[in-house]
Structure 1
């Protein structure tokens, strides 16, 4: 057996799945989904076929063409990272129907009771399949090497609505008995339920499979974009205002990277427990509510997810060893979009914040230096445990270095050619480097490509941004240790990003009185921008400003975004014994409100430091 991916049981000699047809019956009372999936293989296969699963109960496997049972074996022992292999024994089969039920502890699903939602009236469930969690929803070859088309029928209570990373076909119901349904559907529909049908016609990697079910409303914000959220007017209205410029960003992206191939670019603002800033699911991007800042700067997260429409969704890393191909390219593309829409100074601020993040992340991995490489070896490693800014910011720096070498115009042409050459494919770092050498002859003589992709740390030809505003803010931050606080005149035009850059560049630890004085003047602990608030709270924790622990606790209990949980919990458990006890208490009280992925990240922080 030759695994195709260090995070999958998929065998490289077996045919890949091309299409999946799903029926999903949502049971909110048990937090489970009773399902069936028809997998279509690229070619008929005889012999064992191994699929990825995690915490699924398999009820049957049959040939849907002959309606005969297919022998199968679900390994009772789960690999701690990959889950349980499901082996089906085929005889010239090209289609497989699998019946299964998800687990209440599915790592890909978060079920929210009504009190955990904005409107507190109906339950809510949503997915997060990246990096290797699609297998916790349905059996599949859960590797980005595999690209599949799918259709899905979601059976849900009639009071709720569903959205997916797919084209919505129709909503049938509410139904009683067989009304409005086919014979097959009437078997799994009861009174008071409806069926929402979707289809994804372009081949996508499994980690981009996504849905959400709840009390969901929407607002139109552009010819290709609706904003969705729980049906609460203030959330929807604020999101529609924040993302009003989305169509302009799409048009900029098309000018830079080629035609937008996904028809629609809709946005779903999820409940606060969503563990990421955004997830680039095609046609339906998922967003944390923390990106709604009231000044349109949250649209920069949207710019990143939009950029994935070309770099990540169209061209995908073959395995997570090559994750930088997704995120480094997307960070570069995001900043080009932001520069075109919001100007060079804002783009420079983004690069500066990213540079500081890169420096700090290299320090974080000083005892595990392998993961400061772009091309990693993740055999035996959970990708969630090593998720960091390295693939984003070091990947960006690599591409920015190439741009500086050959000039922006030439690099723009290269990127367009690259996207056109590999769209709807999954590739590795070697393929990218070969394409680079072929299209930019002699580039290896000017840039050490091996050092950039296989070397640890930050290469010597990486570069901080150069801009007046960036230099001024960093200089002010360095003066803080000498007791000089920025004047009100100096910060008069600052918004969230300027404050974030300033706080990120302050000394790691300063006198508690200085921290308190800074907050008394500028109210940073009260900021509505979580980037600013969390950066300030990290400084307060490190400086032993105990009076802010109530704000730390409130923050940890109201958001589930890992970008905020990771640094706050880490700062606490690296402190004194009382701070460690405080962190453990807050997590114990809040754990069930976090997404399973976020729960695992916090637990790994505790296991390392406690």
Structure 2
């Protein structure tokens, strides 16, 4: 066995999958999906082919010409004992075959999928389901080579209740009445053509890594906001608020094309999910998924959209080969995001964004002080769950590395390098060595001017990293130092502060403050009541670390209202690391009450935090 990825059973000696066709029957009563997958390989293969699965029930494997699924047409397969990180290896014994069919059923505990009851939705009338496959969870939806190296095209038929609709990270091809033949002979029995069901057809003709496979099914409506963009959500005020928050999206696309080349994905639609969505945004091609917590009312949520848009070039178009090289996705994308923000929202907004990133990066150094391996850009994640070490290091240290190169060679030269890099590697998945070779070849002598070894394989923050050059940024840091010395900022100083300024101010304060200081802050600014979630959580994180019980009820409400992992990790960590034993007990009680509100990925992350604190 010659694995290509520490998080996948995929073997380097086997052909990769070229195309997958899926037929998926959504059963909201059982919270499962009955499905079939036709996998087409790059070339015919004989022998055991290794596929990734997680908690999937495999009904059978068959020749792709089969219509009756008789025993004589079946292909032998074996499910190995499960690995706690990778899931379960599926061995399929092929005989000079290029394509074959697998029939399967997902489990209620599928790590990629969250099923929401009507009461957990905005409309309270229909259920909702969505998928989040990053980093290694596509395997819990269908058997696949679940590594970014295996870029696939796919098509899908989604059989859903007729009163609902669906979206995917793919082009929508139509909505039709279900016919048995449309299931491609899959073992979906008469359920497929039941009355009251419809089939929605999707197709993704560009090759993508499996973690970008995504769907959502529910009471979903939409509104056109530009020639390339629609906003989707449940029918609620969120749709109108999102339209205002993300009104600069089309301009961002234009600027992105000027900076990085043609936009290759035809559409850039946005789906605002229920609050349980575990990330700020997910860059699924053609259909970006967003948490409603980014809708702040001051256009700052547009920076999350800018980040997901930037992934259209750095991440979706060029992808890291494994999670060891995750910085190639997120470092490049953070750099690209800030370039777009600089043009659309101005240099000061971009500078504040960099300042917040610097603050995050310093905090991550503290988080990993006992395991500095994960402060490197190129990491070794063999035997490591990627969710356990997910952090802003690849984002912010990766940004700082690219910014350092830009400062060395000058922006015009670096811009030309970026365009050439994206054009050269588009629709490929690469590793760090491949990038470094390209860098040295196209910017000769860069290794003599920038210490590439320290940046890529060194721990901590390199000495030539830099804070932003910004008057507003410096004034906010000065105001935070003044507060520690006992002086509140004046009304004149804060008169023009928006969400980012308040967030940076709070994140520049010590994590633990005296009760009188917390009371004074909240009395002056009403941070605990803020409608900007970044600001509110930054303040409540101080409350949690400080063990300020007077505002624990606000933390309770926050943890039961949202499922964004960034916020959950900050608040639970603060409670667990406070000096107050009651804070630790409070964290465990709230999690038991709120866990079913969280996506399975978020549940696992918080369970890990709680386990480590015992």
Same fold (TM > 0.5): yes
- Picking from 399, 419, 439, the partner of 2:402 is 399
Q: Is the 8 A contact 1:172 1:181 kept in 2?
A: no
Matches within 5 A, 1:447-596: 447-575=450-578, 576-596=580-600
Per the alignment, residue 200 of structure 2 pairs with: 196
Looking at structure 1, the residues matched to 515 and 473 of structure 2 have their Cα atoms a distance apart, in angstroms, of 26
Q: Distance in 2 between matches of 1:146 and 1:478?
A: 50
Q: Distance in 2 between matches of 1:472 and 1:496?
A: 15
- Residue equivalent to 1:604: 608
Which residue in the other structure is 1:98 paired with?
102
1:290 aligns with 2:293: yes
Q: TM-score, normalised by structure 2?
A: 0.97
3-state SS of 2:201 partner: strand
Inter-CA distance 183–588: structure 2 relative to 1 (3 Å threshold): closer
Question: Do the aligned residues in 1 keep the contact of 2:511 with 2:541 (CA within 8 Å)?
Answer: no
Q: How does 1:181-260 map to 2 (within 5 A)?
A: 187=190, 188-232=192-236, 234-260=237-263
Corresponding residue of 2:52? 52
Q: Is the 8 A contact 1:369 1:457 kept in 2?
A: yes
Secondary structure, in 3 states, of the residue corresponding to 1:154? strand
Partners in 2 of 1:168 and 1:541 — Cα distance? 45
Match of 1:433 in 2: 436
Check if 1:388 corresponds to 2:362: no
| Alpha-carbon separation, structure 1, partners of 2:181 and 2:374 | 56
Gaps of 5+ in 1: none
Deviation, 1:541, is: 2.2
* 1:160 aligned onto 2:190: no
Q: Which residue of 1 aligns with 2:78?
A: 73
Q: Deviations along 1:386-436, whole A, 9 cap, x unmatched?
A: 000000000000000000000000000000000000000000000000000
* Counterpart in the other structure of 1:13: 13
TM-score (norm 1): 0.98
Deviations 1:226-257 (A, max 9, x none): 0000122x111111111111100000000000
**Can you list the C-alpha shifts for 1:529-588, whole angstroms capped at 9, x where unaligned?**
111001101112223321100100000000000110001000101122111111111000
Q: Is residue 118 of structure 2 the alignment partner of residue 119 of structure 1?
A: no
- Aligned-partner Cα distance in 1 for 2:404–2:139: 37
Q: CA deviation at 1:337?
A: 0.3
Rounded to whole Å, the distance in 2 between the matches of 1:55 and 1:475 is 52
Identify the residue that residue 87 of structure 2 maps to in structure 1: 83
Shift, 1:181, TM fit: 9.9
Match of 1:308 in 2: 311
Q: How does 1:255-294 map to 2 (within 5 A)?
A: 255-294=258-297
Kept in 2, the 8 Å contact 1:222–1:244? The answer is: no
CA RMSD of aligned residues (A): 1.4
Q: How many angstroms does 1:296 deviate by? A: 1.3
The whole-number CA distance in structure 1 between the counterparts of 2:482 and 2:184 is 71
| C-alpha contact 1:18 1:40 (8 A) present in aligned 2 | yes
Tell whether the 8 Å contact from 1:48 to 1:88 is kept in structure 2 after alignment. Answer: yes
Q: Distance in 1 between matches of 2:358 and 2:425?
A: 29
Deviation string 1:177-212 (CA, Å, 9 cap, x unpaired) is: 779999989952200000000000000000000000
Contact 1:51 1:85 in 2 (8 A): yes
Given that 1:220 and 1:240 are in contact with CA atoms closer than 8 Å, whether structure 2 keeps it comes out as no
> Which residue pairs with 1:61 in the alignment?
61
Question: Structure 1 segments of 4 or more deviating over 6 A?
Answer: 177-186
Alpha-carbon distance between aligned partners in 2 of 1:277 and 1:179, rounded to the nearest angstrom: 39
Partner of 1:361: 364
